[in-house]
Structure 1
Amino acid sequence: MSGTDGWNGPREVLRTLRGHRRGVSAAIGLTLLALVLALAQPLVVKDVIQAAGDGSPFGGAVLVLVALFLAQAAVQAAGRYVMVRTGESVVLGVRLALVDRLLRLPLRTLDRHRTGDLISRTGTDTTALRLLVAEGFTGAVTGSLGVLGVAALMLWLDWVLFLAVLVMVVLGGSLLATVLRRIEGASLRAQSATGAMTADLERALVALRTVRASRAEGRETARIGGQARAAYTSGVRVGKLDAVVAPAVELSVHGSFLAVLLIGGARAASGGSVADLAAFLLYMLYLVEPIGVVFQAFSSMQQGAGALRRIREVLDLPGEGEEKGKGDGAAPGASSRASVNGAAPLLEFRNVHFGYRADEPVLRGVSFAVPRRGQVALVGRSGAGKSTVFALAERFYDPDSGAVLFGGQDVRGLARDAHRARIGFVEQHSPVLHGTLRENLLYAAPEADERELRRAVELAQLGEVVSRLPRGLETHTGEQGAALSGGERQRVAIARALLARPELLLLDEPTAHLDAENEAALRAVIRETARRCALLVIAHRISTVREADLIVVLDAGRVTHAGSHDELLVTSASYRALAPG
């Protein structure tokens, strides 16, 4: 969904409230009960005035009035609490749905959106829903019923005075209607500008070291400030339009009150019923709240509609496996191990074509195989397609044509979770999540025991690092692993992958951040791992490439040569140019 295509505000509000009907109904019911208790009070006041005029006792009526007043206050308080709790429950439900959806979106979809803007929709936009539920939908329902109830009683008491009130309410409502049509658009622009500001701030903070090294703080502040000013301008416009709501209410209510005083006072002076006029004026006072609630509710709903539209744009995006024609062939969570062809290579690319954009192919008919044991290395210039091969092997993307096979089966026929459970992936930048070192190591295998954890630490040559840290495995790694060096983060990523005991381990530049001593230790780990499972390695260093059982040379998205290190030095000029001396 984009823009206003297919947008139906009331329908989307009801869709959002699905699953919260009990809470919404309870809030509406309590509010209406409080309204009934309030509407009974002017009738009791009328009886008290008439009894006092006739000299009859009225103590009992006064007690009834006090009881009605206290009961109304209690019920009204309970209704507001239920309303707030329901609003928070709606916000929580939407946030949980957004988080789940964002974490399951296809990478192709995420590539088209800014991370900061998506985060803003989960935070700022969902907060705006609270207004839509508490002051918007619920207020519109209860306020409208309240207005109808008061209007019916006023009409029953005195239809002439009621017509005077109706004229003033229609005038105020007409003014409000012209404003509401413009509030939703202004609110949507304000939410979008806030999302853009969050995205720009996230962009700068992620690359803060580069920003400072480039002395670009002022430029980034100006960029983010521009989005902040756009949000300010849109927010002020919403406020300006919303400011008209209060005068519209005053025009309706105060104008009605003056009209009733003029007409009713003149009639009372000519011998009309003072008790009826007092009751009507009390109903006028009770009319103030529901009219204000209705007017403010429609304003809140228009403001919340912009946020709801942005949220729905994300929730309606298809998740992984939900795209048209790209669903999993197996049921989610189904095991794919039993059907593996033991004679087939563990991983095979067959004439694979792929591009992140339709007009920009990255892989052009790539074919190669990875056996069940041993090490295969991918080499090539930057942009040759090496990282894309890894992305297809992990099924972050599916090929445009050709096939990626795992154990002889097309990966598109395997459940994603079951497929990825058999693969370990060590990224070049080796991300470390905020948390303890233990939590990071157990991330891919949370059920692993202490013995398995210690073994992975030893295999990845992390023992010295763990002993040096102040709290060992319980040490917090800092934001993005700031407490660790680049080489240490890479070894953490390797240990994390090994702990899951994968059948295939994907290593993207595993020695890029290691010194000579640690590189030699890691090569020993790689040799040992290659005897236990298959390794597919992206590497540039000759020391890593030389030990591979098979080296595949990629150039401009094509496999140009394949063979051992010694063979390629003779047969491939491009390999000789790539191999570091």
Structure 2
Amino acid sequence: MTADPARPADGRLGLLDLIRGHRRRIALAVALTLTGSALGLAQPLLVRHLVEASGAGRPLTVVVLLLVALFAAQALVQAVAGFVLARAGEEIVLGIRLNLVHRLLRLTMPVHDRYRVGDLISRAGTDSFALRRLVADGCTDAVAGVIGLGGAVAVLIWLDPLLFLVVAVLVAAGLSTLVPMMRGMRQASLGGQQATGEMAGDLDRALSSLRTVRASRAEQRETERIGAQARTAYAHGVRTARLSAAVGVASHLAVDGSFLVVLLVGGVRVTTGESSLADLVAFLLYITYLAVPISSVFQAISAIQESRGALERVNEILALPGETDEPAPLARRPAGQSAAALEFRDVWFGYDPGQPVLRGLTLRVPERGHIALVGGSGAGKSTIFALAERFYEPEIGQILLGGMDVRAMRRSECRARIGLVEQHSPIFHGTLRENLTYGAPGASPAEIARVVELTNLDDLVKRLPGGLDSQLGERGVRLSGGQRQRIAVARALLARPVLLLLDEPTAHLDPVNEAALRRAIEQVSRDCALLVAAHRFSTVRDADQIVVLDGGRVVAVGDHEDLLVSSPYYRRLAAEWMVPAREP
């Protein structure tokens, strides 16, 4: 089974790309469908022969048995064709979802900043499933319907060219009414899928912040917001259903109208002797059989139009830029420079054009020791971490890791050497062990025990009913903020990074655990570089060196005592930190 269809260079998928790798199975389904159609087309001829034989007084047993056999064979073949096609459709949905998951997890961070999580999930779920109909109904029905229609037309012309002309005029008239409906179906389908994506985004927003929603008594407001998108999706869905029903009615009216006209005209021709009763019966049966391929063609057009909206939304994601792991052709180590764990050289960067966050920032983190970054909100502390992890690339300037330009390294190589602990540390659904070993899945029990002791998680492990194998709940809902923070620190330490980035690691800790973590930080700083974005006085005071940021630039560097003397800005920050420290 091919579950991951090849993608063109720009990432976008067309109909041929969807069926690539599934051609044999789809071809088998088409062949079986056509076989079933052929078996069905043969049955009116047998009925014609049966009428003629009955009129001539010849035996009917063999013809009746053959007709029953053809009917049973047609049912069996069509059942097998349906299963083969359904399986191919499921494989195609799987392939699309794997492509989307691969792309979503590798989109650049600026792209992720523009999209809502719920909408992206909707594209991988609802939209990808909608494409199943594009292949199962659109592609196969179109091929089988056109070929079946051609066979039926050939037999009808052979039986009675005049009656066929009448049928052709009526069917053409029905087709002419469908063109505006097709355009409307595509627009309605795309609008419905976009509304569904917005609904998923609003629902994700509400559920991920459910405690805040309830504390703010905002359940009704969120219900109304999500409900508005649901009603929009409903309106588009109703419009799509209305147009789809109109397509079905048009196809049936064309065939049923043809049947009535043929019955009238054919009956007159039989009474005048221009045609036989057996020919008229056969022709009428073929008219009824004509409904199947005509309906297949109409439904194929309908399915293609409905699914094109989903394909556009899927292609929008597949065409977005993703991170690459290939290094740029740059010198790996500047000559004449001693290696530092991390170095920024005249780095400029902004999330929005024309609004820089870092303005010519130069920073050097030695291979060992504890460096604290301090500054007001928006000074650039978190941005420095994001650039170090290569979530973004600087507009101007150079970033070095271990003396190597990071652009000359694979992203995976950079991130393998850096540990990151975010201020709002995520906890994944799963066990404590799975969370601890997320960045180091091959860690040994001894290594796990070491970081558990280092981050003072022993009591938590003892209290949990299953120890390390206890489930932590969705987003670690059963844990305190301090416990989540210490798990994140332990997770980062378990990967043994060369550089550890901590975004205010003591923000959610009580005094006992804060002291324990400070001891762990001191021990870690002997083995690797430690860069801490600090907002609390205790974290800053223990640092070997303090880097003061203001307006995206380094304005002062030194230890705590030196900066209290030399930097007025640092003195103001220290005074603000020390106020809550004196409160009871």
1:138 to 137, 140, 156: 140
Question: 1:280: Cα distance to partner?
Answer: 1.0
Cα contact 2:156–2:283 (8 A) shared by 1: yes
Distance 2:498 2:321 in 1: 30
Cα contact 2:368–2:527 (8 A) shared by 1: yes
Question: 1:74: Cα distance to partner?
Answer: 0.9
Q: Does 1:418 align with 2:413?
A: yes
1:429 to 412, 415, 424: 424
Matches within 5 A, 1:351-370: 351-370=346-365
Paired AA for residue 287 in structure 2: M
Matches within 5 A, 1:102-121: 102-121=104-123
Distance 1:535 1:455 in 2: 19
Question: 1:16: Cα distance to partner?
Answer: 2.1
Question: 1:59: Cα distance to partner?
Answer: 2.5
Report SS of the residue matched to 2:114: coil
Decide whether aligned partners of structure 1 residues 524 and 85 sit closer, same or farther in structure 2, where only a CA change above 3 A counts. same
Distance 1:11 1:257 in 2: 42
Report the counterpart of residue 5 of structure 2 in structure 1.
Answer: none
Report the counterpart of residue 307 of structure 2 in structure 1.
Answer: 304
Report the counterpart of residue 281 of structure 1 in structure 2.
Answer: 284
2:250 to 237, 242, 248: 248
Report SS of the residue matched to 2:131: helix
Matches within 5 A, 1:302-341: 302-321=305-324, 328-329=327-328
Question: 1:44: Cα distance to partner?
Answer: 2.0
Map Cα deviations across residues 423-482 of structure 1 (whole Å, 9 max, x no partner): 111110111001111110110000111111111111111111000111111111111000
Decide whether aligned partners of structure 1 residues 60 and 339 sit closer, same or farther in structure 2, where only a CA change above 3 A counts. farther
Question: 1:270: Cα distance to partner?
Answer: 2.2
Report SS of the residue matched to 1:531: coil
Q: Does 1:230 align with 2:232?
A: yes
Report the counterpart of residue 533 of structure 1 in structure 2.
Answer: 528
Paired AA for residue 327 in structure 2: D
Map Cα deviations across residues 385-426 of structure 1 (whole Å, 9 max, x no partner): 000000000001110000110111110111011110111111
Question: 1:340: Cα distance to partner?
Answer: 12
Report the counterpart of residue 522 of structure 1 in structure 2.
Answer: 517
Distance 2:496 2:175 in 1: 68
Report the counterpart of residue 151 of structure 2 in structure 1.
Answer: 149
Paired AA for residue 328 in structure 2: G
Cα contact 2:548–2:556 (8 A) shared by 1: yes
Distance 1:540 1:65 in 2: 86
Alignment size in residue pairs: 564
Q: Does 1:510 align with 2:505?
A: yes
Question: 1:337: Cα distance to partner?
Answer: 10
Q: Does 1:67 align with 2:69?
A: yes
Distance 1:451 1:115 in 2: 37
Decide whether aligned partners of structure 1 residues 485 and 330 sit closer, same or farther in structure 2, where only a CA change above 3 A counts. farther
Question: 1:329: Cα distance to partner?
Answer: 2.4
Report the counterpart of residue 3 of structure 1 in structure 2.
Answer: none
Map Cα deviations across residues 6-26 of structure 1 (whole Å, 9 max, x no partner): xxxx98222222222222212
Cα contact 1:486–1:513 (8 A) shared by 2: yes
Decide whether aligned partners of structure 1 residues 488 and 11 sit closer, same or farther in structure 2, where only a CA change above 3 A counts. closer
Report SS of the residue matched to 2:67: helix
Identity %: 58
Cα contact 2:357–2:379 (8 A) shared by 1: yes
Distance 2:311 2:478 in 1: 40
Cα contact 2:427–2:484 (8 A) shared by 1: yes
Question: 1:42: Cα distance to partner?
Answer: 1.6
Q: Does 1:291 align with 2:286?
A: no
Question: 1:215: Cα distance to partner?
Answer: 1.9
Distance 1:328 1:64 in 2: 70
Report the counterpart of residue 468 of structure 1 in structure 2.
Answer: 463
Ranges in structure 2 where 5+ consecutive residues have no aligned partner: 1-11, 579-584
Report the counterpart of residue 195 of structure 2 in structure 1.
Answer: 193
Report the counterpart of residue 57 of structure 2 in structure 1.
Answer: 55
Map Cα deviations across residues 30-81 of structure 1 (whole Å, 9 max, x no partner): 1111111111122222222222222333432322222222211111100001
Distance 2:329 2:510 in 1: 44
Report SS of the residue matched to 1:540: coil
Report SS of the residue matched to 1:226: helix
Distance 2:227 2:570 in 1: 49
Map Cα deviations across residues 181-239 of structure 1 (whole Å, 9 max, x no partner): 21101111111111111111111111222222222222222221221121122122212
Decide whether aligned partners of structure 1 residues 18 and 421 sit closer, same or farther in structure 2, where only a CA change above 3 A counts. same
Distance 2:444 2:285 in 1: 73
Decide whether aligned partners of structure 1 residues 251 and 483 sit closer, same or farther in structure 2, where only a CA change above 3 A counts. same
Question: 1:495: Cα distance to partner?
Answer: 0.6
Report SS of the residue matched to 2:41: helix
Distance 1:61 1:338 in 2: 88
Question: 1:541: Cα distance to partner?
Answer: 1.6
1:389 to 384, 387, 402: 384
Paired AA for residue 20 in structure 2: R
Map Cα deviations across residues 512-565 of structure 1 (whole Å, 9 max, x no partner): 011111111111100110011110101122221112111111101111011111
Report the counterpart of residue 218 of structure 1 in structure 2.
Answer: 220
Paired AA for residue 302 in structure 2: S
Report the counterpart of residue 99 of structure 2 in structure 1.
Answer: 97
Cα contact 2:333–2:403 (8 A) shared by 1: no
Distance 1:178 1:154 in 2: 30
TM-score (normalised: structure 2): 0.94
Paired AA for residue 547 in structure 1: D
Distance 1:146 1:110 in 2: 47
Distance 1:355 1:212 in 2: 36
Ranges in structure 1 where 5+ consecutive residues have no aligned partner: 1-9
Matches within 5 A, 1:444-463: 444-463=439-458
Decide whether aligned partners of structure 1 residues 342 and 23 sit closer, same or farther in structure 2, where only a CA change above 3 A counts. farther
Question: 1:342: Cα distance to partner?
Answer: 9.3
Paired AA for residue 261 in structure 2: A
Structure 1 range deviating more: 386-395 or 235-244: 235-244
Matches within 5 A, 1:23-38: 23-38=25-40
Question: 1:496: Cα distance to partner?
Answer: 0.5
Paired AA for residue 38 in structure 2: V
Cα contact 2:334–2:403 (8 A) shared by 1: no
Cα contact 1:34–1:75 (8 A) shared by 2: yes
Cα contact 1:340–1:408 (8 A) shared by 2: no
Report the counterpart of residue 341 of structure 2 in structure 1.
Answer: 346
- CA-based RMSD of the aligned residues comes to 1.9
Report the counterpart of residue 549 of structure 1 in structure 2.
Answer: 544
Report the counterpart of residue 126 of structure 2 in structure 1.
Answer: 124
Cα contact 2:333–2:405 (8 A) shared by 1: no
Report SS of the residue matched to 1:131: helix
Cα contact 1:427–1:507 (8 A) shared by 2: yes
2:570 to 543, 561, 575: 575
Cα contact 1:187–1:234 (8 A) shared by 2: yes
Cα contact 2:341–2:366 (8 A) shared by 1: yes
Cα contact 2:13–2:315 (8 A) shared by 1: no
Structure 1 range deviating more: 371-380 or 45-54: 45-54
Distance 1:150 1:413 in 2: 65
